Structure 1
Amino acid sequence: MSKIKRYFTKKKEEVAFRLRLRSGMGQGRQLNSAQPYATPSILRRIRDAHVPPQRNQQRDETSAAAAAAAANAVLASMLRKYSSPGVSISQAAPKPKPEQRELACEGVFFRCPELSPEVLSKQSWQLKIKDMLHRQLANERGLAGCLIIHNCNPIKEAGDCRDALVNYLEYLIHSPGDEQFSKIRMSNSIFNDKVRHVNGALDVLYAAGFEQVDINGEPFLVWSKEHIEMDLDMLLDTLKHTQPIELILDRNKKVLQPIRQIPIQLPDDFFRISAKDTSESIQMPDSSIYSCTLIRIKFPNGLHLQGTFDVNDKVADIFDFVQSCLTDVTLQFDLVANIAGKLDGGDMDKTLYDCKLIPNAVLLFVVPGLDDSLALGSAFIKEQQQQQPL
């Protein structure tokens, strides 16, 4: 049995178990209670469709562009030195390309442990999940349709569609013989606005037993018991409790050597809006402009530990990140910000936005009571973490 089929079989068994609980085996949870029901779903689907991580590719492209810019600069210098009087540089050679920004990191990346160990951009994950779900429609149209609604549409559209579909299914379950609930006019304003054009919605209705027919030249969806592909109670429960597949922000961890100082310039993925529009959004709160922040922790020996965080992550997340990279994970340490001062216990539940640690910040790593001379020679960070020069 394939991983994908095992996954859907498991999901149907879980839903069936909840339905049995509600029918008398015990106290079940409320149908409208939130639960990340479908999050584990994709694990078994995507592992066979490998998409190479994009981070190395982006790094190669950046290196090639930097090399080209350096070559142009050398050429311009030579022409400037040896060109005869009266011949302008623009006449002697093409203008070099504008200098490329030297970014502090390649971008913002995510993990999805339920699916694969890959680290990809959000867009790459969205395309991968969408492709996997659409390929599964032929095998499990009802379950795949529910997942597509929540993972391939804007949040509001997905929520409005789910609510409308829940109403349709509940009417059928409670009044299966009532003709007014077994026929949907496709030109109906509610259906047309909230259901018809939402990815996955028609697949859920088809799995419930509807099929499209023309009545007097007008399109309708008409339900019949013979066309049911998935038990209606199970489909309704799945529709109510399916959640978007969770992507976990990757820290994109780096240990940087203090060879030369590079200003922190961030790639466009750190912004909720286009970076070029940032100057026009001065009146907007920073939490609306930035989605992520780049945090660097400076150690006494000059090394910098760098990681990517969401602006709504907590200060405690930074401490956990630093501790996971230490040679001695039991070491007690403080982090000191230039503006906020030492971050203490009262700051742990504050967001990075609340502490003004956006869009980037440098924190000092301090070990209380440790002599400065000893601190300079100490290897705080695990050797395998030390990779890129700064």
Structure 2
Amino acid sequence: MAAAIKRFFEKRKTAAKFRLAGTGHRLNDPAEKRPVPQSARSQPRPPSRQGPTEEQLQAAQAAMTRLSMPSKPASARRDPLRDQIRREVELAKSAQASAKADTGPTEVVLDGPRMSADIRFVCPMVGLEALPKNEMEARIEEYLMGQLAEEPVMAAALIIQTLNKVPSKVKVCVDVLCKYLDNIIENPAEEKFRRIRVRNRNFQEKVISVKGSEEFLQAVGFTVSQQPGPEGDLESFFMLDADRAADTERLKSYKEILLLAEPIRPQLDRCIKVFHPSPKANQIDIPPDFYNISPQELKKEMEIRRQVTEKLGMLRTKEMRERDRLRELRRYRFAIIRVRFPNGIILQGTFRASETLASVNEFIYECLDVDWIPFSLMTQTKQLLSQDTETITELGLAPASIVNFSYDPDVLREVAAQQGGGFKIVNYLNPELLSQIETL
């Protein structure tokens, strides 16, 4: 195409030279009889022109392409898809503008200093001290190992459920152990059901690789001994003696313990804090542990999404929007909620991002001095309904938000009327919490 355009320009240039040269003449005509070129009669000869530049060639190529396309009738030129793109772009621009102008309660400082109270966990079974998760898990493991001497079967079953991170492997192990017990219960006199070959591949992959399984077998009464294997060589076997195998009721109780055991999980500590009224209440520094990804990865992901969104002209399908929503739900692990009371006092608690608003309401009730009056919570943009079943992330409160607290005004008026107008709430929080108040 570019070569054809260049030839077109050269042809036009040659024709222009012939027109400027005037009419023809013979070579042997005298010079005075030769016709004067028309351009020489009226104006000086223009400088010779060069060929078209690369930019001119590209522009000409685009123009010829447009001209070669069939024209659409006026009625068909209106494109609904283009109109939709234009509307979504305008909506996106206005949303971005309002987001930049919004100085609402959910202000998150990703690069700020770490909070004075990190994420901590408690476990009533091992004590009331709040510890970081890795320390609390080590404390739970230490506690369970210590219980093996007192309650070996129960402790071993809890170790299987608690100290292994892959639930599917735990389920397979429990199923195989139950199968061993069932075989012995149904056939207590059969020696082949009372011994387990240690080198058996199924045993190695599904049982012994799970922490706590060996302790459970030993608690049931299995002992390791050397017995002839399938090829006649001595091998290690877990053996259960005939007397223990005959006690089928005991074996049934062990199986029931194994099936009913549930993992011991550390509980998230609320890390309760109370602050004096402060203009800094909206500034919440978020520790990196609050995110499923690091802050650097989060920033990189947001920049990539911004570029892709701009490239697509902000036109997203329903599936794309749902995918973004699910990605947003998986982003946060924890959330800080600050509750601002009418007197300006601020109550702060830490929650899992997957918890519901009911958990927040329950937390507030436990901290109130007057805990029998209904209350409501309000963000800057909407009221949070107590019957909401959405998670903290779905409500837009993760990773950090501040909500405003208010008692039900109708109930307050009714109580005041019953007490002759003398009812008035001075302190919203209980005295124990108010004694721990600090300054932001």
Structure 1-normalised TM-score?
Answer: 0.65
CA separation in 2, counterparts of 1:293 and 1:317?
12
CA separation in 2, counterparts of 1:231 and 1:334?
54
Give the counterpart of 1:344 among 364, 382, 385: 385
1:171 aligned residue:
183
CA separation in 1, counterparts of 2:150 and 2:361?
45
Deviations 1:94-134 (A, max 9, x none): xxxxxx94334522222323442322233222111211221
Q: CA deviation at 1:238?
A: 0.7
1:221 aligned residue:
238
CA contact (8 A) 1:296 1:305 kept: yes
**2:434 is equivalent to residue 389 of structure 1:** no
Within 5 A, what are the aligned runs for 1:196-345? 196-214=208-226, 215=228, 216-226=233-243, 231-259=250-278, 261=280, 263-279=283-299, 285-339=327-381, 341-345=382-386
CA contact (8 A) 2:288 2:295 kept: yes
Q: CA deviation at 1:361?
A: 1.2
Give the counterpart of 2:395 among 355, 358, 380: 355
CA separation in 1, counterparts of 2:300 and 2:190?
57
Structure 2-normalised TM-score?
Answer: 0.58
CA contact (8 A) 2:334 2:352 kept: yes
CA contact (8 A) 1:250 1:308 kept: yes
Within 5 A, what are the aligned runs for 1:4-15? none
CA contact (8 A) 2:126 2:139 kept: no
CA contact (8 A) 2:376 2:386 kept: no
Q: CA deviation at 1:384?
A: 3.0
CA contact (8 A) 1:105 1:267 kept: no
Q: CA deviation at 1:185?
A: 2.4
Q: CA deviation at 1:226?
A: 4.8
1:136 aligned residue:
147
Q: Structure 2: 5+ residue runs without aligned partners?
A: 1-110, 303-323, 414-424
CA separation in 1, counterparts of 2:178 and 2:146?
24
Deviations 1:59-102 (A, max 9, x none): xxxxxxxxxxxxxxxxxxxxxxxxxxxxxxxxxxxxxxxxx943
More divergent stretch after superposition (310-319 vs 281-290): 281-290
SS at match of 1:243: coil
Deviations 1:231-265 (A, max 9, x none): 31221111110111243322111111234527322
Q: What letter matches 2:344 in structure 1?
A: G
SS at match of 1:363: strand
CA separation in 2, counterparts of 1:206 and 1:335?
55
CA separation in 2, counterparts of 1:193 and 1:272?
31
SS at match of 1:388: coil
SS at match of 2:401: strand
SS at match of 1:161: helix
CA separation in 1, counterparts of 2:169 and 2:295?
27
CA contact (8 A) 2:224 2:239 kept: yes
2:129 aligned residue:
118
Q: Structure 1: 5+ residue runs without aligned partners?
A: 1-99, 372-376
**2:120 is equivalent to residue 109 of structure 1:** yes
CA contact (8 A) 2:157 2:261 kept: yes
CA separation in 1, counterparts of 2:276 and 2:132?
26
CA separation in 1, counterparts of 2:365 and 2:132?
26
SS at match of 2:285: coil
Q: CA deviation at 1:193?
A: 1.3
SS at match of 1:285: helix
CA contact (8 A) 2:357 2:386 kept: no
CA contact (8 A) 2:153 2:219 kept: yes
CA contact (8 A) 1:298 1:363 kept: yes
SS at match of 1:184: strand
SS at match of 1:295: strand
CA separation in 2, counterparts of 1:118 and 1:250?
10
Deviations 1:160-217 (A, max 9, x none): 2112111111111111223332232223332111211211101111222322234314
CA separation in 2, counterparts of 1:145 and 1:364?
48
Q: CA deviation at 1:280?
A: 5.5
Q: CA deviation at 1:144?
A: 1.8
Identity %, equivalent residues: 29
CA separation in 1, counterparts of 2:142 and 2:235?
32
Count of residue correspondences: 284
CA contact (8 A) 1:107 1:268 kept: no
Greater Rg by CA = 2
2:23 aligned residue:
none
Q: What letter matches 1:164 in structure 2?
A: V
1:364 aligned residue:
404
Q: CA deviation at 1:330?
A: 2.8
CA gap 1:124/1:165 in 2 versus in 1, 3 angstroms: same
